[in-house]
Structure formats: C-alpha cells, structure tokens
Amino acid sequence: MLGNLQKYREIIISVALFLIFDLSVLVVSSLTTGQLKDDAVAVNLASRQRELSQRIVKTLLQIQIAQSAGQSIEEPQTELAMTFKIFDETIEGLRDGKYVTGGDYQTVMLIPVETDSAKVYLERAFLIWNPFKEKLFRVIAAKRAVPQEDLQDAVEYASKNNLLLLELMNVITSEAEKKLADKSNTLRMIQISGIIAALINFFVLLFHFIRKLRSQDAEIARYSENLEKMVEIRTRELRRAQEQLRATNASLEKAKGELEVLNSQLEQKVEERTAELRNAQTQLIQSEKMAALGQMVAGLAHEVNTPLAFVKTNLEGMREFHKDLFKLVEESEKLCDALQRDDLDRIDEHFARLAEIQRHLKESNRIQDISDMLRESLTGMDRIQELVINLKNFSRLDEAEYKYADIHAGIDSTLLIANNIIKNKAKVIKEYAPKVFAECYPAQLNQVFLNLITNAAQAIEHSNGEIRIKTEVVDGYAVIRVSDNGKGIPKEHLNKIFEPFFTTKPVGQGTGLGLSICYQIIEKHHGSIKVESQVGVGTTFTIKIPTKQTRRDDKVGENVLSPASELQPA
Amino acid sequence: MGALSNILLVDDEPLLLSSLSRVLRLHYTVFTAENGMQALDIVQRHNIKVIVSDQRMPGMLGHELLGKVKEISPNTVRLLLTGYSDLDAVLNSVNAGQIFRYINKPCSVEKLREMIELGVQIHDRIVAMQSEAKLAKTQPNALPDPPATLLFVGYAPSEVQRLTSKLVGQFIIEQAKDIDEAFAALNRASVSVLISELNFGEHDGIDFLNAVKKEFPHTVTIILTDMIDATMAIRSINEAQVFRYITKPAGEEAFAFVIEEAVKRHRAYQTTPHQNIKYTAEAISPDQNFHTSAEKLRAKLLAARIALSKPR
C-alpha cells in the first residue's frame, strides 16, 4: 500500500502543483478582475465627470438662453440639478469612496483614487468645484427664474473654470485608466506566469514521464534482449538435451536388446532355480518325511526293544536252565534203562542223581522259572505283535487311502507310536466324544496327530506333564484338541509356526516343515488348524475337519507332500 | 563263597526286571526297582555294590538317579542301560553321573553278567583300598600344592588363550598341536588335566585318551569338541573314563570352573588312588576295550618316553 503510494508520489505531487498553480492564478485573477471592475467603474465615472461638467455648462447656458428668452427654465434646471447631483457625488466618491449612481442610474461602489498625483488633481478639482457648487446650487435652488447675477456668476465661473475642471477630470480619468491598465497588465502577467508555471509543470511532468517511459522502454528492451539470450541458451540446451535424448534412446534401445537377452537368460535361470528349489523342496520334504519316519522308527525301536530285551533274556536264561532239564531227562532215561535191565546198583545211583537234580530244580525254582519265562516271553511277543499291528494301523498301508475313518482309532494308534516320547514326559488324558468319524485320509491325519502329540511332549519340561486330547463333533465338523501344559509358544512365534521352515529347534533337529505339512494336510481336508498358547501355561492346537467332504474332486492323496503343492499357508 | 553281593536293577519294565533277576539270582542278591525313588530307597537301606539302571524312566531319568546314588553311596559302581541313543541324556550323564559303563540295550545276559562282576570287584577293591588308606592316613600333605599343569591338545593358540583367560597365573599351560607333541609333553612333565579335541585325522581321539589313561591313570581328561556324537560320548566313558565331555562353544567361566573341578579330581586321585575307577578296573582286569589302534598309540607313547629319557 505504502509502496503504491510511493509509486504515485511523483504524479500526486505534480498534479498538486498543477492545481496549486491554476487555483492561485484563478484566485488572483478573480480578485484582480473584481478590482478591475471597480477600477473600470472609476474610469468610467471619472470620464463621465468630463461629460457632466460639459453638461453642467450646457444646462447653465440653456437656462441663460431660456431665461433671456423668457421661456421656462424648469427643464434645464432639472437636468442641471440631476447632473450636479451626480457630479458632486461622483467627485466625492472619487475622493472618499462611496456608493454613487452609476451609468445606468444604478448604484455602484466607487473606490477613491489611489495615486498621489490623482489625489492632488482631485484636490485641485475640489478647489474649483466647491465655489462652483455654491454658485450652481443657487441656480438650481432658484424658483422660476434665476437671479441674473447668480446666473451670470455661475456662467462666468463655468466658462472660466470649466476647461480646467475638464482638464483635471481628464487627468484623473487617465490616472484611473493608467491604474486600470497597470492592473490588467499585472493580471495578464499573473495569468501568463500561471500558464507558464502550469506549462512548466506540464512539461516537467511530460519530460519526467517520457524519461520514465524511455527508461522503461530501455528496461523492456534490455529484458527482451535478455529474454532473447535466454531463449537462445534454452534453445541450445534443448537441442543438446534432444541430442542426448536421442543418444539415450539409442542406448536404451541397445539396453532393451540386452535386457531381452538377459530376460530370456533370467527366465532360463529362474526355471533352473525353480527346478533347483523344487528339488531342494523335494529333498526337504523328503527329509521331513524321513525325520518323521525316523522319529516313528526310533519310537518303535524303543517300544520293541523293551519286550525284545526281556524275551531275549528269558531265552538266554532258558538256554542255561535247559541244561538242568536236559540232565533230568538224561538221568530219567538212564534210570529207565537201569530199571529195564534190573541193574540195582545203577538204579540206586541214577535214582540218587535224579533226586539230586530234582532237588536242585526245586530249590532253584527252575520249573516255575521256566514256565514264567515262557509266559512272560509270550507276553513280550504279544506286545511286539501289537506294536507291529499298530504300526500297520498307523500307516494304514493295507487300507483305502480315503475313507470314513474312526478318528479315535487314529489317535490311539498314534499315541502308541509316540508312547516312548510321551511316556517319560506326560500323562495322556483322553476326553473322547462317544463316536467321532470323518471322511479323511487316515494315514495323513495320523501324521498330523503324531506331529502335534510329539510337539506337545517336547514342549513339556517339568515332571507334571499332561497331554489332553479332546474330541467332539460340532456342526458337522470333527473337532480334535491337543493341549499340553508345557512351556508355551511366545506371541511373536505364534503367527509363524505354520510357516514352512520356521523352527525354534536347534539346527539338525527338525526341518521346520512339520506344522506346515500339518497345515496343508488339514487344508486339503477343507478343515482348519488353529493354535492358542500362553507362555508358561501351555498350548492348544485345535483341528476341525468336516465329517463329510462335499468336494471330493480335489481330494489329495500323495501329493500333499509332493513338491508341486503350495507350501505357503494362507 | 559267603554271602552273595547285592546288586540293584532299575527299569520301568517289570518283565525285564523279572527276567534279569531270574538269570542273575544264582550269583547275586538281586534287588529291583521300577523307578528312581524306589531305587534310592533301596540304595539307602542296603549295601548295593553295583547298580544297573535304565536311562529312560518316567519321573527320574537314569543318569539323574545315578548322580544321586553317587552322593548317597559313592562306592556303588554305576552302570547305565541306554535304549536307543539319546544324545542329550548321554552327554548329560557323562558330565553328571560319574558312570562306570554305558550298556546298550538289548544286552546279552553274559555281557551284563561280566560287567556286573567287574563292577562288584571294583567295588570290593575300592572298599579294601579305602580301609588301607584309612590306616595309613598319618601323613597329612601340609605342603602347598604345586601349580597344576594343563595340556591342551589339538587347538589353535588363540582358542587356548581365550579359554584360559580366566585361569592365567593359576596353572602352567602347555599346548600340543597333535598327538605326538602331546605324548612328548606328557612325558616331560606331570600333567594334571589334559584337554583334548577328538578329531586327529588318522588317530582316534578316544584311543588316544585311552592310551594316555593307561599310562597316566591319574591325569584327568576332558574332551572339548564340536563333535556332538553320542557314540563318541559313550566310548569316551566306557573306554577312556573322561572326566567331562564339553561341546563347543565353551564359555570361559564355565570352562574355568570345569578345570578347577578337574584339578581337584586329579589331587584326589593322587592322594586316594582307589577313587580312580579306571585305575582300579585296570588293576583288576586288563582293559577289554583296548583296541589295536589304542595299542599302537600306547606304543608310540612309550617310544616317546624312551626317546625323551635317553639324553639323560
């Protein structure tokens, strides 16, 4: 705002100056014009005095003529009175300044004479006028006829002084005229100087603006010059850029070619890598399978080992004991032989030996031992047989892959397989619903159960371990819960545990695929597997699978574990 | 023949206990227990010469039981039956149970009997030496112990430096980069504790330790290796009676603690040799586990000794 004002300051000042000049000229000239009018009145009236004085003389003469001719003097007398009156007031007005009867019998203001010379002349005029006035007054005041001597006196005075008075009036008039001329000259000077000042101001302004415009023009010229330069530079730059672009384009074109080559190579590499990865995946899955198998085999080996150990011990013991029995049989045979031959000495001898052997057998409780050994060995063999049957049940090798199966049977056979892992760690608490069947791949489900149960056992690090297995059927789903009171899974691991290769076990002890494979197996059953865990309290895995599969088309057999299947859980 | 020796069998399988006790009953008074608590109860009430325990049992594991038995009855010779190798259990027991032998299940009756018999003899011998020692216990060793010598075999000098950072000044530290150097060092000075790697290329680490143990029964041996192998661990006990089997990486402080324990053990062996079970076993019967390769190593050791003694 202030800046704008600043910008217009020059114009404002110029305009103000212009207005001041013009206004002052106007004021001065109007003032002067007023004075000029007054002066003109003065000149006019002063000039009229000459005529009036002439008329006074004329009327005097007329009165003289009329009187001498006996005619009425009334008319010239009136004229004289009138003229006298006007002359008198005018001359007084010239001296003192007052309202007088003007040219058209209108009252005007008469200003007193100003110049000293005029005043002197006026004084002289009064010297003439005042005696004249008295004489004239007598003429005017006379009724019907003017006394002759008065008339004569007046005429004589008039003829004697009229010229002088006239001359004086002339001088005064010319004085007034001179003054008027002076004044109008002054006025003209003022007007001219005002116009000149205005013109100067105008020219100053004009010059100023022209200069300004010129400097702006110069600036614009400079700008446009700069602009041209810049345009030139920019053009050059653009041209260069264009060239570069063209070059870049070319190299891009080249790069594109290379890229295409690389791309094809990459595709090839990706294919190779994919193949490698698939291979690695296959191997990993294989190793997970082997790990599971190893676990199972190890478990079974231990389970078989125990009955095997005591069966073997029993058999080894029986081999020793068998010697005693053999001796018994031998002596019996010898005794029989002696009895047959009636060899009394031999009979006694063999009988004594037989009795000794029998005593030994009895003392050492061999007979009882042997029957115990046989019985216990058979028990052991039964246990081994049971394990083998269970192994068959677990793997379901002799059954249809896909069937309507008893979930409990699967869990039970899994528990037997996992027995050696659980045995030392936890008590298993089964909370089974009366009957839980589902359409499934029993062997694969068993694999899931084994994984969960093994994990549960491994999570338990105290002596009051409990693994709770609960089953129920809810809304057409078989629900299996495997809970432990182990160490629990930290929150940050919970959402990762179904990811392939996620493991918290040390390297070499688990591929990290177990739960991811479980996830897949359950997903292929159109079911769900969820985990809840609290560190230090325990973990619960909940599996839900539909008891009846609606979509049998995408049932998956072996390829659950095939490399082609997706390992990434949702 | 007098009273039969008391032995204790511990297994969670009653049928195994009954079958074993039947075949052992003729020669021993057989006690049986189905779990660790029962076993400890029996050990407390009877003078058990040999205890044979299964490793895998509910409640208390075999090596834990044997560790406790060692405290209650130090003279009871402890045997551990291991079903299928459980690495953690074996390594734990090596370092905690002070076990005389590991026996793999299933084991023939004959072999078991042999082991038990050796155990009984060792027990009797230890007891006999103890009473001898008691009688001869007149010279208290008022002399301050000279600084013990530690011999590291098969490690990089930087590693030895790191391991012994907490031990500087307390011990004389010797280093040998291979078995030959180790033999030379063993013959030069009395080594209290020998810390050895297991992997020596052509030579078997356990055989090396076995040979060392045979010649220097009182040298306490420690295995420090990154080879985690249950078979090796079992052999290290059964054949070489190593004091500790430590897997790498070993913390300096923990290592320092083990070394102090080992040195104490070495001093104990020197003052009361009967505590040295290997020494006692050797005295009773020559080592049946002594392989030909160990024999060769022993020959080497002896040759080194001769070579060293010649200039004198």
Query: Per-residue DSSP letters for A414-431?
Result: HHHHTHHHHHTTEEEEEE
Domain ranges (residues) in chain A:
9-215, 401-570
Asked if B163 and B252 touch (Cβ cutoff 8 Å), the reply is yes
Contact list, B56 vs chain A (CB under 8 Å) = 302, 420, 423-424
Pick A424's closest partner by Cβ from B56, B84, B107: B56
d(CA B9, CA B57): 13
Asked if the bond preceding A546 is cis, omega within 30° of 0, the reply is no
pLDDT at A543: 94
Asked if B225 and B248 touch (Cβ cutoff 8 Å), the reply is yes
Asked if A516 and A498 touch (Cβ cutoff 8 Å), the reply is yes
CATH of A9-215, one of 1.20.120.1730, 3.30.365.10, 2.40.40.20, 3.50.50.60: 1.20.120.1730
Q: Are strands B50-54 and B28-33 parallel, antiparallel or unpaired?
A: unpaired
Kindly give, in sequence order, each residue whose CB lies less than 8 Å from that of residue A565, ignoring residues fewer than 6 positions away: A520, A556, A559
Asked if A239 and A59 touch (Cβ cutoff 8 Å), the reply is no
* Domain range B5-135, CATH architecture: 3-Layer(aba) Sandwich (3.40)
| Highest-confidence segment of A304-308, A563-567, B29-33, B247-251 | B29-33
Q: Which residue has the higher pLDDT, A568 or B145?
A: B145
Contact list, A302 vs chain B (CB under 8 Å) = 56, 83-84
pLDDT band at B142 (very low <50, low <70, confident <90, very high): low
Tell me the pLDDT tens digit for each residue of B175-216: 888 888 888 888 888 888 988 888 877 778 888 888 888 888
Asked if B164 and B250 touch (Cβ cutoff 8 Å), the reply is no
Whether residue B23 lies within 8 A of chain A, CB to CB, comes out as: yes
Residue B141 has pLDDT above 70, yes or no: no
d(CA A533, CA A486): 10
The answer to whether the CB atoms of A317 and B16 lie below 8 A apart is no
d(CA B175, CA B221): 14
Tell me the nearest-neighbour CA distance from A311 into chain B, angstroms: 8
The answer to whether the CB atoms of B15 and A310 lie below 8 A apart is yes
Whether residue B84 lies within 8 A of chain A, CB to CB, comes out as: yes
Q: Which residue has the higher pLDDT, A88 or B1?
A: A88
Whether residue B65 lies within 8 A of chain A, CB to CB, comes out as: no
Tell me the residue type at B266. Answer: H
Q: pLDDT tens per residue, chain A (570 residues)?
A: 455 566 677 778 777 877 887 788 778 777 777 777 777 777 787 788 888 888 888 888 888 888 888 888 788 888 888 888 888 888 888 888 888 777 677 777 777 877 788 888 888 888 888 888 888 888 888 777 778 888 888 888 888 887 887 888 888 888 778 877 887 787 788 778 877 877 787 787 788 788 888 888 888 888 888 888 888 898 999 999 989 889 888 888 888 888 888 888 888 888 888 888 888 877 777 777 677 677 677 777 777 888 888 999 999 888 888 888 888 888 888 888 888 888 888 888 888 888 888 888 888 888 888 889 999 999 999 988 888 887 777 776 666 678 888 999 999 988 887 887 787 788 899 999 999 999 998 888 888 998 899 889 888 888 888 999 999 999 999 999 999 998 888 888 888 888 776 777 665 556 667 888 888 889 888 999 999 999 989 999 999 999 988 755 444 444 444 433 333 333
d(CA A464, CA A462): 6
Tell me the residue type at B2. Answer: G
For domain B149-309, give the CATH superfamily. Response regulator (3.40.50.2300)
Kindly give, in sequence order, each residue whose CB lies less than 8 Å from that of residue B191, ignoring residues fewer than 6 positions away: B149, B150, B151, B174, B185, B216, B219
Tell me the nearest-neighbour CA distance from B15 into chain A, angstroms: 6
Tell me the nearest-neighbour CA distance from A353 into chain B, angstroms: 21
Asked if B50 and B119 touch (Cβ cutoff 8 Å), the reply is yes
Partners of residue B101 on adjacent β-strands: B79
B83: closest chain A residue by CA:
A302
Domain ranges (residues) in chain B:
5-135, 149-309
pLDDT at A561: 43
The reply to whether CATH 3.30.565.10 applies to domain A401-570 is yes
Q: What angle do CA B182, B188, B189 make, to 5 degrees?
A: 95
B5-135 and B149-309 share one CATH topology? yes
A9-215 and A401-570 share one CATH topology? no
- In this complex, how many residue pairs, one in chain A and one in chain B, have their CB atoms less than 8 Å apart? 68
The answer to whether the CB atoms of A317 and B22 lie below 8 A apart is yes
* Of A65, A68, A85, the residue nearest A141 (C-alpha): A85
